[in-house]
Structure 1
Amino acid sequence: MLLPHQIVEQSLQNHFDRNVRQHYFRGMEFAEPAGDPGWFGPGSAVWHVHSHLETLIFGLQCAAYLERLDPSIYWMGVHHSRLVERSEDPATPPRIDPRGLAVRLGHSIAFFIGTAYGTTETAERLAQTVRAMHHTIKGTRPDGAPYDADDPDWLRWNYATVVWGLATAHEMYHPRPLRGRKLDEYYGEFVRVGHALGGTDLPTTKAETHDCLKSYTPKLALTHGAAMATGHHLPMPESAVDWAIRDTMPTWAKQLIGHRSPNVVERTARRAAVWTVINGLHAAAGPIPEFTQAQARVADGVDPALAPHTEPRYVLGSDPVRTRDDVEFTFA
């Protein structure tokens, strides 16, 4: 007979299985071959950070919020993403499609779990699929400025927002957060993902990432999408989540969107409330199976023949040409 906490854990895992795992984790391998550490392996900072699924998901929202302060990112989403509902009337602002948002989040979760705990082959295949999608995203903003998802400058911005969002969410809401040099180990390890997606000249510490993000301020703006996704006009609980996301942003980014932190007592109380919710969900759901499978995969040690390579296998321009339909079929 299951105990009450086991019933809750099973219910949450079943919910994740139905809505995320069965749709977006297909074809990903975590259990074998034995001895394959994947891209990071046991004892890595990435394994520690990504094992807390709820903080990982929150960090992805933080990254997305910061990312879309780049107008080109906003228009890439409007023109190419299923995140938005488009109108035939060009004067009608695009609206977020809840289904598209769920699909985007599902793919993102699968990618960052798969590259953390999947086998080397799984991680490489995921990276190749994301690169293939990026290769199809090219166009022109309404103001005439071109955009290209393969642009090294864009890739650097995109990478920096992601690692900042994930690491900062971890710092603030993980029950055993990495600090100082240990946290910089995460930044240094995670750059493996950025390189695999084609990024170059990427930051490898918290300080470097902050400086990298700040260097883009002349190019940033409060886009329509960011403006409509923030503010006190949002209903509860969206407004509480929105505040917590904005709270993770660097000071200069908060200034850009007009966000002001409350006094230290209220801010501490708000953070404590978010911490309780995030870690309550994590405690109820239990560890993710992908993490435990990866641990078992290397329980008898790492096979030197399968040890992680330190340099990405991807060579710029070497990917086969694939249509967007081909990519979406693979990534479905």
Structure 2
Amino acid sequence: MTARLTALTARPAVPNPARGLKAFVRREVNTSVHGARGLRLQERYANPPGDPGLFGPGSVTWRVHSDAPGMLMGGFASLMLQSLHPLAMAGVDQHSDFRTDAISRLNRTAAYVMSTSFGSTEVAEAAVAHVRDRVHPRINGTAPDGRPYSAADPHLLTWVHVAEVRCFLAGYERFGAPPLTPAERDRYYREVAVPARMLGAEDVPESASEVARYLRDMRPELQATEAAIEGIHFIRTYGETPGERAAVRLLMNGAAALLPDWAREPLRLGRPDAVRILIDRPLAQTAGRFIRWALQPSEIVGTAYERMGMTPPPQHLGWRSAPGTSRD
């Protein structure tokens, strides 16, 4: 996340929303977030025509994963929730470069999610194969408590998957609209279980009730280790300038609000209810509206719809305006 993104996100109000300015801001923020390489990646989503990939335009996954603020803050939340499993956190602590380049790690995760969500069948399968066959076999070791771990462990793969998609859905429902029906929530979990199983996860929950039961059953295994608390603190204080650090803190506060109540306190993310409701939530929702205004429509999402010979629906086109602006 660069200083340009921070300066834009941290402002309490957005300047005159003329069409030219809106285009300029969107271009600047997209370049800041994705860089030139990220913008070229959208070319991978154009072919072959008519290939729906793993999900397709009628899926709930395309709807949820198209929402920029929900995915961004849901992504931060998923990192926090995943860190509560000591073995998953040991793998991150011992094999990840998050302390020196946290944003690159987030971008790699985002690239995988976008590839499996919106890529053609070939692109999605290649992304899964790369992680399953080349990345995960290298990530193994011994946790501080003496237990061995492996990123290829089906049990850990299921934990990481559930924590991730549960937070993506929570982010969408907090910052996106229109809300999903109970049947659509279940369908989302059923859809995203497909790439999880391709990656090697087993006994993947496929409905909201199954996810709730899974999280309840997993709680005895969860613990906020020293590495987890240090990792969260590192991300919360990430940034080269005061403005950048303030923007990250704002996003992290919004992400923390997406976690289950029982997950915040062990990670030392507890804040008074009045602060969360009166300060954190409005600021995060304002940031969410700005992120949607600045980052949507996504070039990747738009290209995926073009591959299907379709136009993205309104909710994928930045339909909510930024604070103080009108739609145009």
1:219 is aligned to 221
Matches of residues 166-181 of structure 1 in structure 2 within 5 Å?
166-181=168-183
Matches of residues 74-223 of structure 1 in structure 2 within 5 Å?
74-83=89-98, 96-97=99-100, 99=101, 101-132=102-133, 133-223=135-225
Indicate if the aligned counterparts of 2:75 and 2:164 stay in contact, CA closer than 8 A.
yes
In structure 2, the CA distance between the partners of 1:22 and 1:225, relative to structure 1 (3 Å rule), is farther
Bigger fraction of residues in helix: 2
Paired residue type of 2:287? V
* Pairs aligned (count): 284
Distance in 2 of aligned mates of 1:107 and 1:196: 19
1:217, distance to aligned residue in structure 2 (A): 1.7
Distance in 1 of aligned mates of 2:167 and 2:32: 25
Distance in 1 of aligned mates of 2:73 and 2:177: 14
**2:266 is the counterpart of 1:256:** yes
1:260, distance to aligned residue in structure 2 (A): 4.0
From 57, 63, 72, the counterpart of 2:78: 63
Q: Secondary structure at the match of 1:109?
A: helix
Matches of residues 40-59 of structure 1 in structure 2 within 5 Å?
40-59=55-74
Q: Secondary structure at the match of 1:225?
A: helix
Q: Secondary structure at the match of 2:149?
A: strand
TM-score by length of 2: 0.78
Distance in 1 of aligned mates of 2:283 and 2:200: 38
Cα deviation code 1:140-177 (max 9, x no counterpart)? 12321111112121111111111111111111111433
What is the alpha-carbon root mean square deviation over aligned residues? 2.6
Cα deviation code 1:256-293 (max 9, x no counterpart)? 33554533685155322211111212112331111111
From 9, 13, 20, the counterpart of 2:30: 13
Indicate if the aligned counterparts of 2:253 and 2:284 stay in contact, CA closer than 8 A.
no
Taking only the aligned residue pairs, the percentage that are identical comes to 27
Paired residue type of 1:288? S
From 247, 267, 273, the counterpart of 2:257: 247
Paired residue type of 2:258? T
TM-score by length of 1: 0.78
In structure 2, the CA distance between the partners of 1:296 and 1:239, relative to structure 1 (3 Å rule), is closer
**2:303 is the counterpart of 1:293:** yes
Indicate if the aligned counterparts of 1:230 and 1:242 stay in contact, CA closer than 8 A.
no
1:41, distance to aligned residue in structure 2 (A): 0.5
Indicate if the aligned counterparts of 1:52 and 1:287 stay in contact, CA closer than 8 A.
no
Cα deviation code 1:71-129 (max 9, x no counterpart)? 1122111222222xxxxxxxxxxxx22x2x12211111111111111110000000001
Indicate if the aligned counterparts of 1:214 and 1:252 stay in contact, CA closer than 8 A.
no
Distance in 2 of aligned mates of 1:258 and 1:265: 15
**2:298 is the counterpart of 1:283:** no
